[in-house]
Amino acid sequence: MEFFTPVSKLSTDMALGTHPLATRWRLSVAPMMDWTDRHCRYFHRLLTRHTRLYTEMVTTGALLHGDVARHLRFNLEEQPLALQLGGSEPADLARAARMGADWGYDEINLNCGCPSERVQRGAFGACLMNEPALVADCVKAMVDVVDVPVTVKHRIGIDKNEDYGFARDFVGTVAQAGCGVFIVHARNAWLQGLSPKENREIPPLRYDMAYRLKQDFPSLHIVVNGGITNNADIATHLQQVDGVMLGREAYYRPWLMTEWDALFYGDAPTPPVPEVVEEAMVLYMERAFAEDGCPWYAIARHMLGLYHGRRGARLWRQVWSDHRLKPLPPREVLARAHAAMAQAAVVADHAA
């Protein structure tokens, strides 16, 4: 397992250049706090070669005053990979973006979509949509110091303001600062009265807003996010916009991603096999423990959807989630998990 270390200058042959510009943001997995860490991203990369992956949001304060390596270290296999930053001070974002570029990230993304109260107290996230000129200053500061794309993830509106002009003017202002890619979560963000979870479910989805942005800004790359759950929906959205981002659906049903390279990138590698992916993750767990003492259960939690829909999947998940097994090596847990699946199959056969 090789970690990327800082480099003085990015090569033009990085993963961003692997595909034509139009395909860079075709499919992506959303940044999700406490979920899309480097272990999760390693797992996802075993399922899809081309899908763009995003880090959890990292605040500028964490990078400027914390453990940089802990926040920015990643596995080479994860690329193409974007670093999502949270912040609202142009100078701080510029410094953080430069760190990300030096570490080898393929994209720097600014969070203008998170509605949580904690993020609001930091004066960033979705509340930044009320200050498009400030966001433009932030983007310009980052664009000036990095050679990779600076992108913005945002909502379509704030609170109950459903005026398309609000989103249009935000995008137009920020685009002038050098942002060419906008990831549009097609719901409003309600800054008061709703939890982050409720903000992902209660404000209505309005994909037409993202479509109109693409129509009004044809030279920009518009990626739609929110409530998308299957490949048919992905294909429908791609008729209107440049890309689609999935979040929790990809996390809970990761096998969905195994079809994306063939369907949406024209690449048809040998389809992965769940047992082979699981074995690769066990090897990864063993290396992670040997290199930095990372316990296997911190990694296994991300792959619990691997056998989603398969007979015995529930028992398999229970084994990998059993806190009583934490002292065991991961290969022993693997054996127990498969024994549980085999027993489930025997019981099902007898019942039939």
Provide the terminal-to-terminal Cα distance of the chain, rounded to the nearest Å. 45
Tell me the sheet residues that pair with 185.
155, 225
- DSSP letters, 50-74, are S-EEEPPPEEHHHHHHS-HHHHH--
Per the DSSP assignment, residues forming a β-bridge with 82 are 54, 107
CB 152 within 8 A of CB 110: yes
Q: Where are the alpha helices (DSSP H) in the chain?
A: 38-45, 60-65, 68-72, 90-103, 117-121, 132-143, 164-175, 196-199, 207-216, 231-237, 248-252, 260-265, 274-292, 296-300, 313-321, 330-351
User: Whole-model pTM?
Assistant: 0.90
Helix (H, G, I), strand (E, B) or coil at 251: helix
Sequential pLDDT tens for the chain (352 residues): 444 333 332 222 323 334 355 689 999 999 999 999 999 999 999 999 999 999 999 999 999 999 999 999 999 999 999 999 999 999 999 999 999 999 999 999 999 988 776 655 556 788 899 999 999 999 999 999 999 999 999 999 998 888 999 999 999 999 999 999 999 999 998 887 778 788 788 889 999 999 999 999 999 999 999 999 999 999 999 999 999 999 999 999 999 999 999 999 998 778 789 999 999 999 999 999 999 999 999 999 999 999 998 889 999 999 999 999 999 999 999 999 999 999 876 666 555 5
Of 54, 78, 47, 31, which is closest to residue 262 (Cα–Cα)? Answer: 47
| Cα separation, 313 vs 100, whole angstroms | 38
Residue of 48, 34, 146, 128 whose CA lies nearest to 86: 128
Is there a catalytic annotation at residue 127?
A: no
Tell me the C-alpha distance between 302 and 171, whole Å. 34
What distance in Å separates the CA atoms of residue 138 and residue 161, rounded to the nearest whole number?
24
Give the tokens for residue 55: 């880090």
CATH classification (class only), 274-351? mainly alpha
Identify whether the C-beta of residue 95 lies closer than 8 Å to the C-beta of residue 62: no
The CATH superfamily label for domain 15-265 reads Aldolase class I (3.20.20.70)
Task: Give the side-chain half-sphere CA count within 13 A for 300.
Answer: 25
Measured CA to CA, the distance from residue 74 to residue 57 in angstroms comes to 14
Can you tell me whether residue 238 is helix, strand or coil? coil
Q: Which of 264, 241, 124, 249 is nearest to 181 (CA)?
A: 241
- Neighbouring C-beta atoms of residue 278, cutoff 10 Å: 21
**Where along the chain do its domains lie?**
15-265, 274-351
Considering the candidates 40, 114, 127, 179, report the single residue annotated as catalytic. Answer: 114
Contact of 170 with 129, CB cutoff 8 Å = yes
Cα–Cα dist 77/314, whole Å? 29
